[in-house]
Amino acid sequence: MTLLVELFFDDSSSDDDDDFEFVTAMLVDIQRKRRKHGGSVMGRLVVRRKKQAGHVKLMEDYFVDTPVFGPRTFRGRFRMSRDLFMRIAKAVEDHCPYFEQKRNASGELGQSALKKIAASVRMLAYGCPADVIDDWIHIAESTVIKSLKKFVKFVIQIFGEQYLREPNVEDTVRLMQMGESKGFRGMLGCIDCMHWRWKNCPAAWHGQFTRHCHDPTIILEAVASNDLWIWHAYFGMPGSHNDLNVLQRSPLFARLTRGEAPPVNFEVNGHQYTKGYYLADGIYPSWATFVKSIQNPQGNKNAHFTRCQEACGNDVERAFGVLQSRFAIVAGPARFWDKKTLWRIMTTCVILHNMIIEDERDQPQDFNYETEGNYVAPAEPEKDKDRIQKFLEMHRQIEDRAAHQQLRDDLVEHLWQLHGSA
């Protein structure tokens, strides 16, 4: 910028006032773009935080050999074990240079990676304002917010592929075994939606994001299994939509229509089926891939089926409850302004939720979730016309109402036989 000024004033031909005003405006614009965080301001109060003392306090409280607070307190405050926390922290620190501890221009050490990550996790866990962390480990509000945004971004990049994957062949077999234990052969989980209130929704969007409640919300569609693992998470639809509208935009059946989903074959009441299904409530369509309860059931068989379906269908509601209990930030009102940040926060909470479930599972040998799986390779059609025809045929099979009714009737009989033999 200095060189630009010298060149302008050295040029004797640049004596026009318009040229001077143009260069001045350009310099002001350059200066404004450079100053991202405001820079030094005359009269601004400078807080001399005890950064290293805050790091020492954090270490003594939780991370030394004999900490002040033991493993049980650590899990209650960070929502996970210390080993899992350190695994996440190391991966994020290695992946993102922002979390490396550096010295500033005066040679003073900055905030440590452990402090930034601990502050981010505590914000997710408690949903507290950023400045509350300052009283604990001496870290500025702006640093906490920036650390949180970086943390959620890189957790998705590092762990999203493994902990937000769609079920592979081994997972599908395991899910079907879970369903079989509940009396629902071929079940792959339960589906439902959850609303997250958006406190700082822009006023121009209020009508789009407001529906049954008086506050704007954003919708999370999820599929959960009996062990509360969330297999599908689709977040971002405005709160004015209902569950059926969200389903129309959701990629839930994208793999199935492409012919890439793992095979599902099961028999119920003497009939063969080749597609898994999800338990759903009454708003969902009567498709072959959904099993809904019976409204106003008549007879013992239908009443028994409805009780079993509603009991198993609560798995996804339990998953929502555990997710909100572990991470209060998604239980309370969202305070960020942009949807991308909110999507990253919700997605990170789902990833951490699944990581905690894997870490605390009582039978890790029976439930060992790995990234690799034997996926079914899609058959390459010879012509585009064949591919379109297969796509349309698969959609027709998914939305087959007759298959939905037949499957539900067969499950009614199957559950009644199990009830009678119990």
Residue 130 shares a structural domain with residue 195: no
pLDDT of the residue at 321: 94
Residue 237 shares a structural domain with residue 258: yes
Question: Where residue 43 falls among pLDDT bands split at 50, 70, 90?
Answer: low
* Domain-embedded: residue 109: yes
Structure tokens at 265: 């074959």
pLDDT at 238 over 60: yes
pLDDT digits (tens, 9 = 90+) for 273-314: 999 999 999 899 999 999 999 988 888 999 999 999 999 989
Residue 146 shares a structural domain with residue 289: no
* Domain-embedded: residue 226: yes
Domain end residue (candidates: 162, 196, 230):
162
Question: Where residue 365 falls among pLDDT bands split at 50, 70, 90?
Answer: very low
* Domain-embedded: residue 312: yes
Helix (H, G, I), strand (E, B) or coil at 217: strand
Query: Residue 198 in contact with residue 336, Cβ under 8 Å?
Result: no
pLDDT at 199 over 70: yes
Residue 125 shares a structural domain with residue 191: no
For range 14-41, the mean pLDDT: 56
pLDDT at 420 over 80: no
Question: Where residue 337 falls among pLDDT bands split at 50, 70, 90?
Answer: confident
Residue 150 shares a structural domain with residue 201: no
For range 224-236, the mean pLDDT: 94
Residue 347 dihedral angles phi and psi, to the nearest 5°: -65, -40
Residue 149 shares a structural domain with residue 174: no
Write the CA distances from 61 to 144, 148, 419, integer angstroms. Answer: 19, 21, 53
Query: Residue 110 in contact with residue 138, Cβ under 8 Å?
Result: no
Structure tokens at 78: 């960070």
Residue partners of 161: CB distance under 8 A and separation at least 6: 371
| Measured CA angle at 407 (ends 405, 412), to 5 deg | 95
Q: How many domains does the chain divide into?
A: 2
Residue partners of 137: CB distance under 8 A and separation at least 6: 54, 55, 57, 58, 115, 118, 119
**For residue 198, what is the DSSP state?**
B
Residue 132 shares a structural domain with residue 175: no
* Domain-embedded: residue 34: no
* Domain-embedded: residue 19: no
Q: What is the rounded CA–CA span in Å between residue 281 and residue 291?
A: 8
Residue 103 shares a structural domain with residue 133: yes
Question: Where residue 9 falls among pLDDT bands split at 50, 70, 90?
Answer: very low
Helix (H, G, I), strand (E, B) or coil at 267: strand
Residue 55 shares a structural domain with residue 71: yes
Domain end residue (candidates: 146, 162, 178):
162
Query: Which range, of 35-39, 100-104, 294-298, averages the lowest pLDDT?
Result: 35-39
Residue 203 shares a structural domain with residue 350: yes
pLDDT digits (tens, 9 = 90+) for 381-393: 445 667 788 878 8
Query: Residue 302 in contact with residue 291, Cβ under 8 Å?
Result: no
Write the CA distances from 92 to 36, 127, 146, 178, 288, integer angstroms. Answer: 25, 21, 14, 34, 42
* Domain-embedded: residue 22: no
pLDDT at 40 over 70: no
Portion of the chain with pLDDT greater than 90, in percent: 57
Domain end residue (candidates: 144, 162, 180):
162
Question: Where residue 138 falls among pLDDT bands split at 50, 70, 90?
Answer: confident
pLDDT at 52 over 90: no
Residue 109 structural domain: 51-162
Residue 279 shares a structural domain with residue 137: no
Helix (H, G, I), strand (E, B) or coil at 21: helix
Q: What is the rounded CA–CA span in Å between residue 395 and residue 275?
A: 12
* Domain-embedded: residue 18: no
DSSP secondary structure of 108-173:
-B---HHHHHHHHHHHHHH---HHHHHHHH---HHHHHHHHHHHHHHHHHHHHHHHTPPP-HHHHH
Residue 150 shares a structural domain with residue 203: no
Query: Which range, of 41-50, 158-167, 399-408, averages the lowest pLDDT?
Result: 41-50
Helix (H, G, I), strand (E, B) or coil at 229: coil
* Domain-embedded: residue 63: yes
